Each structure stands twice: as structure tokens, then as C-alpha cells.
Structure 1
Amino acid sequence: MTDPTVPAAHDNNAVSTGTIWKVITASSVGTVIEWYDFYIFGSLAAIIGPVLFGSQGKPEETLLGALAVFGVGFIVRPFGAVVFGRIGDMIGRKYTFLVTLLMMGGATVATGLVPSYDKIGWVAPAIVLVLRLFQGLALGGEYGGAATYVAEYAPDHQRGYFTSFIQITATAGLVLSILVIVLTKKAMPEADFKTWGWRIPFLLSGVLIIASYYIRQQLHESPLFQKAKAEGKTSTSPLRDSFLNPVNRRLVLIALFGATMGQGVVFYTSQFYAYSFMQNALKLDLIDASIVLVVSMVLATPLFVYFGALSDRIGRKRIIMTGLLCAALFTVPLFYGIRAYAGPLTEVAPATVNAAGQAVAAVQQALSPNLPMMTLLTFCLVLFVTMVYGPIAAYLVELFPTKVRYTSLSVPYHIGNGIFGGFVPLVATWITVWANTQPAGTLFKEHAMLAGLIYPVIIAALCWMIGSALMKDLRNVRIMD
């Protein structure tokens, strides 16, 4: 069945604006919910850790355990990209949309029902591990479908602008997860939230998934995929055509090491690791950390669209590379600034002598966090995300032909985001813990709190060098074939 709103010639430049916005809305709502589902776990890692690994465990060990389980979902995202990319290129974008949505939602609701380690032992983390595998597989098929679907409706000269709205969904999902967690936490005593209240955001996902499924069910198939299918141009083996064809394989590798690898570490460092850093390293209250991150992301959100639209005029590569370079140069100084303005810190007043000539001992004074300055610095971190992430969907879509676009786009994106980016919290936290064990006076010991940033900064710098050398500055190209 064809979409009556799409012209018979299947020219996406002639698709009505109303149709495009309907497609964007339906795609974005579902993608926001899937990111919400994915981020709940990571946002609650410090609380979920003792639930999964025992209430008597050391906090740093249970946190690392929870982050490791969280990371499993990232490992399988590339496999989800392969599985669902193949389905999307052979059967259609819409069908794949619906399957990934239900998989993600079901796994999230089930996570909220898993008993604790204290009740069922190692079965608890084992069950959650399996559920995270399902979530990772589902998300591996989600982003590529959403980006491809919107891009195949968008006019060639506005592809960066329209696909940038899909780029907002990951940030929106994180903001939504934080807001739901904060509201739930505020509605009950702290002890109740740690005991059972943390499950509410997971269970709430069931309602959101049902609403999103209904919205997506109303969509028609992408016009370019309809055209390719009608002309018999769809691929019978998307995996072979994507990875064994030397020309396409080279493009996949350039997309991974020249764009998505760096984009992944910038995204998770500037948003997710910053949130974890404020709570676990700086001991900032969850509410204060949430205010800093949410306000900075809300303020930065319009910039996803701005840089997406700008890429339609000046090209994708220039903006993406500038964002990567800024992240490589300024991430560490910005984190040092966040630490400087955060509490609890102590300031030691110098010893003085009173009127009687007696020495008065130095006094320690607690410093309250300067939330406005922390928000400003975090906003700068998120600014780099918007520069790299805003144009990248359009760049990836324009890189590959219609018959293998879903697969070819999804695999490098989810390796870059899932493997390189998704492990930022775990790898950075592990490096920090290791640095704290080094002898006093060594460089790592002195800078242990921020030692974990070595990983994302090096990856961002490598990606900038590779992308600057090998990426072509595509924009506004025809993607009919």
C-alpha cells in the first residue's frame, strides 16, 4: 500500500511539509521513549548497584557492577543494527520500528519487576543482564530506522534540518528519565525510594510504549523504500552488500572511525558521565546534579536543529570536525571548572592570633555548590555534542544507497556509540578507581578524580584526525538510488 500523500514519482522534494512533520513526530516520540528506557538504568546505577549485587557490598564495587551490566546493552547494539538493519532493508522501515519499540518496552518493564540480590542471589543480576541484551538489540535497530525514515521523506536541501529533530531524541530521553526519577524521589522518603521507589520509572515505561506504538502504527512506509521495492532494487543480502562490497565497506569504516566513534564519546562524556561525575565523584545531591544537567541540556537543545540546518548550507564535515576538536581540547578544563564550582569542597581559613596573643586554629568552612556556573560549564560540554550530533544523521544517510542504507548506517553508528561511547562511564570510572590506588605524589594520584577523561579525549582527538583526512563534505545530495 502506498502513501497517498506521497507523489507518484516518489520525489521526496515534493512531499508536503505536513507529511514530513507527521513522520518526524511519530518517529521522534517512539525514539524518545526508547532512549528513556535505556537511560533509566544508567541514571539509577548508584541505587541499582546494591540491589543487583547485595546491600552489603562496597559502593564503588556495586557501582562498577551496575555500570558493567549497563554496558552490556551497548555491546550488543551493533548486533541489533545488523539484525534489524537487514530486516529494515529487506522488509521495510515501519515494521522494524514497531518490533524494536515493543522489545525495548517489554525489557524495561520487566527490569522494574526483578527481585533484589538479597532475595534471589546472583539470579537477579543474571536476569537483568539478559534484559539489557534485549534492550541493546532493540536500540541497535531503532536509531538507524528513525534517521533513515525521516531522511527519506525530507527534501534534499533540508535534510540536515529535518533529521536534526531525530538527534534531539536521545537528549530528550535522558532529560525525561531524569525528570521522572527526580519527581519519584521527591514523592517519597529516601529509604522507600532506594528500597522500591526506583522501580516506578521502569514500570511507567509500559504506558509510554503503548501510546508510542499506537502513534507509529498510523505511519506508512518510506516513499524511497516503496520505490526501490516496486522496482525490485531492494537488497537480497544487505550484509553482503554493506560489508563485502569494497566501496561500501570503506564508507562504513570512514563513518565509524571518522565520525561516529568520536561522536559517541563526546555524547556520553558531556551528558551521561558528567551526571555520574557530579553525583559519585563530587558527591553532589541528585536533585542539584539533575538541575545542572537538565537546564544545560534544555538550553542547548535548539542548537541540534541550528547546526543541522547550518550543515545544509555549509556542509556536514566542517561542523562535526569542529565539535570533535573542541571536545578534545576543552573537555578536561571544563570538568576541572565543574569540580572547582561544586560542593562539598572545603576552604581552610588561615590560623590567626587573638587579642590575647593566643593562636586560633584554622577553620574549615563548607562551600555550597555554585549551580549557575556549573550549569554554564556543562552547557559548554553539551554544545560540543550539538555540533557533532546535529548534522551526523544527514551525513550518514547521504553516504549510503537506499537498498543498504538502514544496515550500512546503523552498524557504524552503534559501534561508535555503543562500544566507544557507551563504555565511557565504565572505563572512565575504572580508570579513576585505578588512579586512586597509585602511590601518593604520582601524577595519576594527584589528578585521580579526572583521570578517566583520558579515554574520551584521546578517542575524540583520533576521530578528528581521521575524519579530517578521509571524510568528504557531503550535503544536499540526491538519495533516490
Structure 2
Amino acid sequence: MVQVDILPKTEGISSNERRVIVAASLGTVFEFYDFFLIGLLANEISKAFFSGVNPTAGFIFTLLGFAAGFLLRPFGAIVFGRLGDMAGRKYTFLVTILLMGISTFTIGLLPAYSTIGLAAPLGFVAMRMLQGLALGGEFGGALIYVAEHAPANRRAAWTAWVILTAALGFLLAVAVIIPLRLAIGADAFSLWGWRAPFLVSILLLGVSLWIRLKLDETPEFIRMKAEGKASKAPISETLGTWKNLRLVLIAALCIVPGQAVVWYTGQFYSLFFLTKVLRIENLTANFLLIAATIITAPLYVVFGALSDRIGRRPVYVAGFLLAAVFTVPLFKALTHYGNPTLEQAQINAPITIVSGSDACSVQFNPLGTAKPITSCDIVVDAIAKLGLNYNSAHSAESATTIVKIGDREVPGYSADTSDVSVKKTRFESELKTALTDMGYPLGEAAHEDINQTMIVVLLSILLCFGTMTFAPSTTALLEMFPSRIRYTAMSFPYHLSAAWFGGFLPATAFAIVASTGNIYSGLYYPACIAAACIVLSTIFANETKGADLSGD
């Protein structure tokens, strides 16, 4: 049995260095606070900046706005990674925190769509990209800063404290949002109160700058500068030589994708699933996720310390495996304990859309410009907006698409008829009546039907997969590269894959669900990525535990 000691050993680290490590981690908490506000306030942001489109498209826009911050993260890794390798870790920290704080504060001041039209969503996406640029230079730098202070046999345990700041940043964000929502009421919060958490960030910016100004440079960077070994062209060294480029590709394609989808599925997609699919009231869903986050937060350090004992790869590959196997069953269990009435209705009265001679088109419409015309498109659009499961069938005998709910049938209509408004009213009324009669809950999940204890348990299991993968895999990344290019070489593949695989996970999963009609189909995206990374990591990724970080 492997003994895991999560208390840092004092040997090799002075009290001053420990204070520096804590300061670096606290600064990162505030950066993640800024970055996570978008996901937690998606509904309010959708109404404020995307009110010119229908609600479904507006929410998709918001998810894409969330992902837009990830688009600039790889560029931020290149820009600030180069700066960190050439000018030092401390200077880079000051620049990234300043950029993050100003862009977050500006979002709180942006006028709504109703005031300035298209400039509102454009301004929001622009600020979101600046946030991504800043975080691209922040997170990898913080990990490297801590790792270059830590003893080799405690490196992952120490870097896990920085990774833990992601969860703490999330908790800090909800600690601001929820009391404010309760204090001023849901209506006022939706109208203007949601801006306050962004505006509060200016205070956090001041604290963060004060913290960063107290930081010392890492001993490793000081040594390199003194010996004249610091890189003059870290980007060229990273991407221009096959030895380093190969390691970048292994990090970007074999390790980080699995880590990204596993972590974001538990921390973000689960909240979307609880509120949008299971219709659990937003405040209740947030409290459940908060409880699970508090329970699992210490596990970042536990699994980091475990990887210090048995190796990085066995721990993060185990996390990939568990996520690949259990993600879909766990979300089905969330339905069972979160909205059993919905689950029972899906069993007792499954929905089937029987298309006639008019063909169905792809339903995912992120721009919100296309309008359903055929009866098939109209019926599918209506069911998809309700977030309900459905099967598809075809009948050559019918000219009009029919939605079957158990033994009830509701005929659709075409939008190119003269009495379209009458038919639309008839269809919506009959559909609502049929769904209600067949036991489908169309409002929020009944509070007494929600098994909150079991939901917290299930969420904790999902988050546990993320804690298994995060610290061991990110520590492995920074151990793969030499000191002179470590900031650039580690940050670029990390943020590139986090952007494309993690940042786009909510929008990608939502698109799959909207296209297939299966509320669980979007989960096969993270499950398959995790499964692929098991194979790729096993073949291509070497064990890095105990690597000498002083190599140039």
C-alpha cells in the first residue's frame, strides 16, 4: 500500500520560499475568479448581450463567448511564455494579472444589446479574448514558478496547490454571486446585479498586484541569467527543433486533451446539464456543485502527492480510464436523482418524431438566423428547445411530420401556409397538453423530488476524475522541457489543447445534443477523447517523475 503524505516537507525549502509559493497561488485564485464568472453568469450575460436573437441561440452564443476566451490562450502562452523565458517569471505575473483584471472590470461596464446593439456582443467577446490572452500566460507560469522552488520528491504535491486555485477561484466567484442574488432578488440580479461580480474584480486586481510585487524570481531563472544560459529565442527553440516539437505534440495531443475534457465536464458541463436539461433551479444547482467542489478540492494535493510516489502517468491515465467508462452512466444517474419525473416520462411515453415527405435539416443554428419552414424542422425545433429526448422515424404515407408522445399524436405544420399563425398556436397548445398528460414536467424540477445528497455524491465522483488527471499531468508537462524554454514549451501545448478540447466542450456537446435529440449524446465527446488519450499517453508519453529541472 502506497502511503501518501500531503504535508510539504520542509527540507530544501525555506520559510520565505513557502511564503512566495502561497503568494503565487493566491494571485492565481483571483485570475480564475475573473475567468469563471462567464460560465456562472451565462444566463444573465445571454440576456444582456445576445437579446437580439432567440433564447436558444443566445445561450449558444454565450457558450461560444466562454470558449472565445480559450481561443487566445495559446497565443497568450506564446507571448507571455516568451516573456517569461527571457525576462523572468515575476515580471510576466504582473503583466498577466493587470490584463486580466482590466478586461474583467470592463465587462461589468459594457452596455447591453438593447443600448448599443451589435457592439455589445462584440465588446464582450473582445474582453473575453483579452482574458484568455492573460490566462494563457498566467497558469503555466504559476505552475513553473512553484515547481522551480519545490524539491523534486514533492514537486507534484506543491504544484497541486496552484491547481487547487482553479477550484478556489470557482468557489470565490459563487461566494460573491449567490449572496448578491439572494440579497437583491432574482429580477434585479438579472437586470443589473450580475455586473457587480465583474466590478468587484477591480478590488481583487489591487490585492493581486500587491501580492505579485512581493514575489521573488525563481532560483532556477536567476541561475540561468547569471550563467548566461537564458534563451534568446524560446519560440524558435520550442517549435523549430524536432526534439522539442515532438514533446510539444505529445503534450498537446496525448495528455492535455484528456485532462481538459475530464475536468471541464465535471466542473462546467455538469452545471449546464443540471440547469438546462434537468431544470433544477439555478441557485440549487450551484449549491450542489459548490458542495462537491469543497469535498473534492483536497484531492488535487492527494493525487499530486500520489504521483510523486508512483509516477505521473499511472495516476492521470487511471483518471482518463474512469472518466471514459463512467461519465455517461453518472449523468444518467443525475437524471434519476435530479428529475425522476422527467426520467419516468421518458420511459413511459418516449417521444418519436415521424417525418413525412418533407425532409429534416440539421437543427444546430448558432447564429439564430435560420427559421424552420418545413413541418419536420418546426417539430424538431420545438422538441429540441424543450431539452427533451426524442427518436426519429420516417413515414412515406404522411405529408406532414407528426410528434408521437406515448400513444398521443400531435401533427405538425408548415410555415409556408397562409394561416400559419393559427396552426402555430394550435400546435403549441396541443404539444403542451400532450406532454403534460403524458407526465412530462415542463417547469422547474420539483424541489421535493431532488435527491440532493445523491447528486452531491455523483458530482463529487465526476470532479474526482478531474483531480486525478490535473496535477500529475500538468507536472509531467513542465518536467518534459528544459529550463531555458520551459515557460513557452509547457504553456503553449497546454493552452492550445485546453482551448480546443476543453473550451469548446460545452458548445460542442450542446450541438451534438441538439442534432441527435439525445440528452446524453454530447457526453460521448469527452468520453471518447479520454479513451483516446489512454492509448496515446501509454504509447508516446514517458514517465517524468524525478526529472531534473535544472537541465538547460
CA contact (8 A) 1:13 1:154 kept: no
Deviations 1:150-198 (A, max 9, x none): 0000011111111110110111111221222111111112111110000
| In structure 2, C-alpha distance between the alignment counterparts of 1:59 and 1:344, rounded to whole Å | 26
Deviations 1:412-436 (A, max 9, x none): 1101212111111111112112223
| In structure 2, C-alpha distance between the alignment counterparts of 1:227 and 1:479, rounded to whole Å | 12
C-alpha displacement of 1:368 = 1.8
Deviations 1:214-270 (A, max 9, x none): 011011111000000110101110001111111111111111122111101111111
Change (3 A) 1:344 1:208: farther
**Gaps spanning 5+ residues in structure 1: where?**
1-11, 351-360, 437-447
Question: Is 415-424 or 195-204 further displaced after alignment?
Answer: 415-424
Q: 1:392 aligns with which of 473, 490, 496?
A: 473
Q: 1:169 aligns with which of 153, 165, 168?
A: 165
C-alpha displacement of 1:345 = 2.6
Change (3 A) 1:123 1:142: same
C-alpha displacement of 1:19 = 2.8
CA contact (8 A) 1:282 1:344 kept: no
Question: Which residue of 2 is the match for residue 477 of structure 1?
Answer: 547
C-alpha displacement of 1:22 = 1.1
Question: Which residue of 2 is the match for residue 23 of structure 1?
Answer: 20
Provide the secondary structure at the position in 2 that maps to 1:219.
coil
Q: 1:90 aligns with which of 86, 92, 99?
A: 86
Please show how residues 407-422 of structure 1 align to structure 2 within 5 Å: 407-422=488-503
Q: Does 1:374 align with 2:370?
A: no
- Structure 2: which amino acid aligns with 1:379? S
Q: Does 1:267 align with 2:337?
A: no
Question: Which residue of 2 is the match for residue 434 of structure 1?
Answer: 515
Provide the secondary structure at the position in 2 that maps to 1:284.
coil
Change (3 A) 1:369 1:149: same
Please show how residues 246-265 of structure 1 align to structure 2 within 5 Å: 246-265=242-261
CA contact (8 A) 1:307 1:386 kept: yes
- Structure 1: which amino acid aligns with 2:27? G
Deviations 1:116-137 (A, max 9, x none): 0011100101111111111010
CA contact (8 A) 2:109 2:195 kept: yes
Provide the secondary structure at the position in 2 that maps to 1:221.
coil
C-alpha displacement of 1:393 = 2.8
| In structure 2, C-alpha distance between the alignment counterparts of 1:40 and 1:402, rounded to whole Å | 34
CA contact (8 A) 1:283 1:344 kept: no
Q: 2:532 aligns with which of 454, 462, 472?
A: 462
| In structure 1, C-alpha distance between the alignment counterparts of 2:169 and 2:184, rounded to whole Å | 23
**Gaps spanning 5+ residues in structure 2: where?**
1-8, 349-436
Provide the secondary structure at the position in 1 that maps to 2:123.
helix
- Structure 2: which amino acid aligns with 1:314? I
Question: Which residue of 1 is the match for residue 100 of structure 2?
Answer: 104
Provide the secondary structure at the position in 1 that maps to 2:63.
helix
| In structure 1, C-alpha distance between the alignment counterparts of 2:17 and 2:252, rounded to whole Å | 28
| In structure 1, C-alpha distance between the alignment counterparts of 2:32 and 2:439, rounded to whole Å | 47
Q: Does 1:65 align with 2:135?
A: no
Q: Does 1:145 align with 2:148?
A: no
| In structure 2, C-alpha distance between the alignment counterparts of 1:427 and 1:345, rounded to whole Å | 27
Please show how residues 160-199 of structure 1 align to structure 2 within 5 Å: 160-199=156-195
Change (3 A) 1:401 1:14: farther
Change (3 A) 1:189 1:344: farther
- Structure 2: which amino acid aligns with 1:235? S
| In structure 2, C-alpha distance between the alignment counterparts of 1:58 and 1:450, rounded to whole Å | 24
| In structure 2, C-alpha distance between the alignment counterparts of 1:213 and 1:260, rounded to whole Å | 30
| In structure 2, C-alpha distance between the alignment counterparts of 1:336 and 1:343, rounded to whole Å | 11
Change (3 A) 1:285 1:112: same
Provide the secondary structure at the position in 2 that maps to 1:345.
helix
CA contact (8 A) 2:24 2:215 kept: no
Q: 1:43 aligns with which of 40, 43, 47?
A: 40
Question: Which residue of 2 is the match for residue 322 of structure 1?
Answer: 318
| In structure 1, C-alpha distance between the alignment counterparts of 2:17 and 2:532, rounded to whole Å | 36
Question: Which residue of 2 is the match for residue 306 of structure 1?
Answer: 302
Question: Which residue of 2 is the match for residue 354 of structure 1?
Answer: none
- Structure 2: which amino acid aligns with 1:237? A
C-alpha displacement of 1:139 = 0.3
Deviations 1:307-355 (A, max 9, x none): 111111100000010001111111000011011111373567x9xxxxx
Question: Which residue of 1 is the match for residue 405 of structure 2?
Answer: none
Change (3 A) 1:13 1:22: closer
TM-score (norm 2): 0.79
- Structure 2: which amino acid aligns with 1:419? W
| In structure 2, C-alpha distance between the alignment counterparts of 1:286 and 1:28, rounded to whole Å | 30
C-alpha displacement of 1:477 = 2.0
Question: Which residue of 2 is the match for residue 443 of structure 1?
Answer: none
Provide the secondary structure at the position in 2 that maps to 1:325.
helix
Provide the secondary structure at the position in 1 that maps to 2:124.
helix
- Structure 1: which amino acid aligns with 2:193? G
| In structure 2, C-alpha distance between the alignment counterparts of 1:286 and 1:333, rounded to whole Å | 23
- Structure 2: which amino acid aligns with 1:324? F
- Structure 2: which amino acid aligns with 1:382? L
| In structure 2, C-alpha distance between the alignment counterparts of 1:368 and 1:291, rounded to whole Å | 16
Q: 2:483 aligns with which of 402, 408, 422?
A: 402
Change (3 A) 1:452 1:231: same
Question: Which residue of 2 is the match for residue 34 of structure 1?
Answer: 31
Q: How many residues align?
A: 448
Please show how residues 111-130 of structure 1 align to structure 2 within 5 Å: 111-130=107-126
Percent identity of the aligned residues?
41
| In structure 2, C-alpha distance between the alignment counterparts of 1:298 and 1:226, rounded to whole Å | 37
Q: Does 1:134 align with 2:204?
A: no
CA contact (8 A) 2:341 2:439 kept: no
Provide the secondary structure at the position in 1 that maps to 2:542.
coil
Deviations 1:63-99 (A, max 9, x none): 0011111211101100000000000000000000010
C-alpha displacement of 1:23 = 2.1
Deviating above 3 A after TM superposition, structure 1's stretches of 4 or more consecutive aligned residues are: 12-15, 361-367
CA contact (8 A) 1:263 1:416 kept: no
Provide the secondary structure at the position in 2 that maps to 1:112.
helix
| In structure 2, C-alpha distance between the alignment counterparts of 1:215 and 1:301, rounded to whole Å | 23
Question: Which residue of 1 is the match for residue 6 of structure 2?
Answer: none
Question: Which residue of 2 is the match for residue 226 of structure 1?
Answer: 222
CA contact (8 A) 1:28 1:166 kept: yes
Question: Is 110-119 or 177-186 further displaced after alignment?
Answer: 177-186
Question: Which residue of 1 is the match for residue 394 of structure 2?
Answer: none
C-alpha displacement of 1:15 = 4.2
Provide the secondary structure at the position in 1 that maps to 2:21.
helix
